[in-house]
Amino acid sequence: MTWDFETEPDFQQKLDWADEFVRSEVEPLDMVLGDPYDKGDEQAMRIVRPLQQRVKDEKLWACHLEPELGGEGYGQVKLALLNEILGRSRWAPSIFGCQAPDSGNAEILARYGTPEQKERYLRRLLDGEIGSCYSMTEPHAGSDPGLFTTRAVRDGDEWVITGEKWFSSFARYASFYIVMAVTDPELGTRGGMSMFIVPADNPGVRIIRNVGLGTESEDVASHAYISYDDVRIPADHLLGEEGAAFEIAQARLGGGRIHHAMRTIAQVRRALDMMLERAVSRQVRAGNLGSQQLVQQAIAESWIQLEQFRLFVLRTAWLIDKHNDYQLVRKDIAAVKAAMPGVYYDVVRRAMHMHGSLGLSNEMPFSSMLISAESMSLADGPTEIHQMTVAKQLLRNAKPADGLFPSEHLPARRLAAQQHLAEVLEREAAAL
């Protein structure tokens, strides 16, 4: 039996390199550069290209992909350990070639795309030359595909897409969108929906407006409300088989959910680090904040939540590596996704309170972190849906009690134990 919580020495060296590299070379970019998804920002690209090459030289580029696709094929556990570092910085995932939604879109293009689709879209996406967008949710339906109305109708050698999509992340910078649409209403969610690759400059594709998170202005907003008005694409832009959208979506979103959790660990640890620094820096009448029992309680609870969540994420990543099938780990991924926003919010809120009015101000990052925590409770499906998934999976294996009372009913257990040990008890009694 093997049971090991240590990282292989060779990979630990890579993690140590990444930690220092992100801290010294990448985190400063967050303070001075614009949006990492804007490939048209020539100044930013001139700065980041050499950094990306250094990552490639260290064999840490696109670690979520297999070697034949330009990655290293390290698996989910190693990716989790790396993402714990990358999640500290807004620019780091792009520097390391694993930014969402491009990472998930690359996975499904690699798995379901034709050779022509891979050459036209996947190669340039993996090289960081272009960005992509996953256009799934709809304004009236959220993420429930059973309520989607965006249609794709076959017309000769083309598909015609009509409808509206909501909260399509980073559409304003994307070169192409992966769009989920109804192709056969009679077949329902499974079998009646398909995925399509839609070039962003196609006639009929229009961003109605860009929507920000919280108080973000439209200038920096990164989630698009999109209209597809009789958008015509070649028939060969169907991704995978017709009717396979639900299968493709599940394959993509499973990875996305666990990757969000990996990067969230970094943000929670960042909040805890700020809390600890504040506790030993801020002086009050009786000493520093860290000498106060309520502050100590907040620190302890935060560390415990972080470590519990981290171990849960790593175990789930290990299960994905073991089974190589997101569906077989569906319950665990759903549980991680459901736990993530609560841990994130709790620790950030405590850190904000410990900083007082400074913590509330725009001179500290806590407000945006709280919004991110709420965003994580809705991204890739709301928390409540994932809680239902966990419960249904657990209930599936539960068995009803045989009799009138529960199986743990103490009088019944006592009677059964007495009957089971009757002969032993009788011998012991006779010996007295």
The list of the chain residues with pLDDT below 70 reads 1
Enumerate the CATH 2.40.110.10 domain ranges in the chain, comma separated: 132-239
Enumerate the CATH 1.20.140.10 domain ranges in the chain, comma separated: 247-396
Q: pLDDT per residue over 249-263, tens digit each? A: 887 777 788 999 999
| Residue 120 to residue 201: CA distance in whole angstroms | 15
Task: Identify the pLDDT of residue 143.
Answer: 84
Task: Identify the pLDDT of residue 1.
Answer: 64
CATH for the stretch 247-396:
1.20.140.10
Task: Identify the pLDDT of residue 139.
Answer: 95
Q: Which CATH superfamily is domain 9-113 in?
A: Acyl-CoA dehydrogenase/oxidase, N-terminal domain (1.10.540.10)
Q: pLDDT per residue over 38-67, tens digit each? A: 999 999 999 999 999 999 999 999 888 888
Enumerate the CATH 1.10.540.10 domain ranges in the chain, comma separated: 9-113
Task: Identify the pLDDT of residue 214.
Answer: 87
Task: Identify the pLDDT of residue 69.
Answer: 74
CATH for the stretch 132-239:
2.40.110.10
Task: Identify the pLDDT of residue 349.
Answer: 98
Q: Which of 317, 198, 190 is nearest to 249 (CA)?
A: 190
Task: Identify the pLDDT of residue 73.
Answer: 85
